[in-house]
Chains A and B, each alone.
Chain A
Amino acid sequence: MKRVILVRSMWMAAILLGVSFVSFMLMRALPGDFVLAAAGAQMLQPEVLEAMRRDLGLNQPLIEQYLSWLGAVLKGDFGTSFVTHQPVLHELWPRFLVTLELALIAAFIALVMGVSTGLVSARLRGAADWIVRLYNGFILAVPNFVVGTLIVLLVGLYFPELAVLSYTPFLEDPLGNIAGMILPAFALALAISVTISENTRAAVLEVSNQDFVMVARAKGLLPRTILWNYLMRNALTPIITVTGLQVATLLGGSIVIETIFAIPGMGQYLFDSITSRDYPVIQAIVLVAAACVVFINTLADIAYATADARVEA
């Protein structure tokens, strides 16, 4: 187990290093830089722009800029925002928590909806199967920003007292905060729940045809024992895999949903910082997001090995 953790951590470090390098270079490859974006419509003298670049260190060779950024990050210093002149971590942390909360609630909703509909579809077959699959196909065809916008519009129209667009900080009113998160999390979860549902259905159907399920029935076991210990326990591994992959995409989806529901999370922060080419902020967000994805995949691997003794972690 120690060796596994060591290998895993080195793997994680390598991925994060690669991601930070690629994103660093990609951002610089975009036309325009922070100085131009900050200048906006003002026609500043080229010498002024150059002086600003020199102040921010943007005139250095790219590789040097990257290495000095990396060196600082390794010491825990993510730099200061070009726009607000605040330490990046200081601004990022509360926003990260908001997005994390949204993603966790969405993952929970997606898992509950996906697994239950997939299970119903596979076990009942017939009409229930048709309805679930039709619904899945429909939801899959509709992008989540459409669903999100529809929710905002419909709730705003018919339940104006719910006030969808007013975010409450967790520390002010924990219950109100969670209640306010449910609709955006639902919009975020829908597409993912469909993928989980389809995969659960396929996995349960596959397991249903295995000999050991026939043996379980020949033992006279109760249907619920067969369902949990034989069908679900075996269907769990593919469900874990797909859930891990899907939850990682939640971070990307949250950019859109946070914008629609006016939630002050990391997604909106990323969008703003890309528009203003606020490089230190972008770098930090990309690194945090990549770390989350790698972490979730590691968790999925561990869950996988726990669910199935044949898998070596």
Chain B
Amino acid sequence: MTASDPILSVRDLTARIVSRKQIVDAVKGVSFDIARGEAVGFVGESGCGKSVTARAIMRLAPEGTRVELGGSVHFDGQELLPMSEAAMRDVRGRRIAMVFQDPMTSLNPVITVGAQIDDILRRHTGLSGRAARARTVELLDQVGIPAPAQRADDYPHQFSGGMRQRVLIAIAISCDPDLLIADEPTTALDVTVQAQILRLLLRLREERGMSLMLITHDFGVVAGMVERVNVMYGGRIVEAASVDDIFRAPTHDYTRALLAAVPRLDRHGVAP
């Protein structure tokens, strides 16, 4: 294996969501690579299958539903789909980490934020007691939480939305993952806070050389964050290009429509 091998290689991935009421083919055969240290954006409207793709890589399904996966997910020399659940648990959080959309509901409300970083450290790094605590404070500091040693003992409801997302990012990077999947990480946040969180992700990615899979419905988020973009529609990737090409010369009609939907200040139609 060489450094140029992609860290993640997905081929013909399909995901069929089976719930009691219906069966939905959410992902209908997507293929893509993410190189080591590379950042790739996934753009598309709600329901296009981008979040299901991300969760399929982690082999996570919402409670009460079953997701049948097909195709192959090759991660750093391992095939993830046939892996046992126990082996998969060693990958989750340690090799591949995930940041979710809604920071208001993504933290456990009844235990302190420090304890929620401690538990993943204990699980994957073998740190415990004072060492885990020191690392927790260090991580909170790295994601820009002021007075981290005191804040570690606070509960999630004592943090703002942006601060909670920082905590969730601290959890995600705690075990130095090779790949970070960020699923609409800024959608639930104010515009000013969005920019801060994106800058934080960018900085952490550069410092750590980790790969980033950035999922969003907003082309504005992708620009300046990633090298390549996959545009998804109806469970398929309809266009894959470098971020410069996408903005300069989108080839697919759907991509053009998506780009045209981005509000721009230099055109008319600006709110008074």
| Chain A interface (Cβ < 8 Å from any Cβ of B) | 208-222, 225, 229-230, 233-234, 236, 307-310
Contact = CB atoms under 8 A, between A and B. Distances in A.
Contact of B60 (A208, A214, A236, A307): A214
Nearest to A212: B108
B100 A215 contact: yes
Interface in B145-202: 155, 157, 168, 171
A124 to B, nearest CB: 13
B180 to A, nearest CB: 11
Contacts of B155: 309-310
B119 interface: yes
A310 B91 CA distance: 33
Given A212-B105, A214-B60, A218-B60, A233 B111 contact: yes
A307 B155 CA distance: 12
A157 to B, nearest CB: 46
A217 B92 contact: yes
B269 interface: no
Contacts of A225: 119, 123
Contacts of A309: 110, 155, 157
Nearest to A217: B60
B22 to A, nearest CB: 18
7 contacts: A208-B63, A209-B63, A210-B105, A217-B92, A218-B60, A225-B119, A310-B157
A236 B97 CA distance: 29
Contact of A214 (B62, B93, B94, B109): B62
Given A209-B62, A209-B63, A219 B109 contact: no
Given A215-B107, A233-B110, A220 B60 contact: no
A313 B124 CA distance: 37
A219 B93 contact: yes
A215 B106 contact: yes
Interface size class of B (residues with CB under 8 A): 20 to 34
Contacts of B94: 220
Contacts of B63: 208-209, 213-214
Interface string B66-107: 000000000000000000000001111110011010100111
B129 interface: no
A209 B60 contact: no
B135 to A, nearest CB: 15
A218 B98 CA distance: 7
Contacts of B119: 219, 221, 225, 229
B272 interface: no
Nearest to A218: B98
Interface in B99-152: 100, 102, 105-111, 115, 119-120, 123-124
Given A208-B64, A213-B63, A229-B119, A218 B92 contact: yes
Given A209-B62, A214-B100, A225-B119, A234 B106 contact: no
Among the interface residues A211, A215, A222, A229, which one has the most CB atoms of the partner chain B within 10 A?
Answer: A215
B112 to A, nearest CB: 8
Given A218-B98, A219-B171, A221-B120, A212 B89 contact: no
The 7 A-B pairs of least Cβ separation, nearest first, read A220-B93, A220-B92, A219-B93, A211-B105, A208-B63, A309-B155, A218-B98
A218 B92 CA distance: 6
A210 B107 CA distance: 9
